[in-house]
Structure 1
Amino acid sequence: MFGTAGEAYAGANAAPEARGAATKVIGSNREDGVVRHLTASWPQGEDALVSRLPCGSRP
């Protein structure tokens, strides 16, 4: 899957193979890496993203 995507992200605690294949390593699951990456890169801003989350909470 990483080879097909234009960009590939792996968490800091991912397997070494996944981190090596990723174009960017983001925070670990304990650091809420995915949510933090999405809120930082969401074009409409954090509030727009949070309003779409099922739990509606901030990281």
Structure 2
Amino acid sequence: MNRQELEARLRQELAIPFYNAKVAEREYSEAEFQEMKAELKADIEQYAHDYVNESNANG
């Protein structure tokens, strides 16, 4: 899949409609997509966790 297809699938599967991946214009394998998806999902979950913890700490 190319960069545009990769971005479209990430947007759809992770429900982030305005996401634009900062990746090279090349062909990506399904394994590379799954790895990127897992990393992005983990980053989003960590960000949400950190945000909630900081919000609770600030009252």
Could you state the TM-score of these two structures normalised by the residue count of structure 1?
0.29
Where relative contact order (Cα < 8 A, 6+ residues apart) is larger, the structure is 2
Greater Cα radius of gyration, structure 1 or 2: 2
Please identify which structure carries the higher strand content. Answer: 1
Structure with more of its chain in helix, by fraction = 2
User: Under a length normalisation based on structure 2, what TM-score does the superposition of the two structures give?
Assistant: 0.29
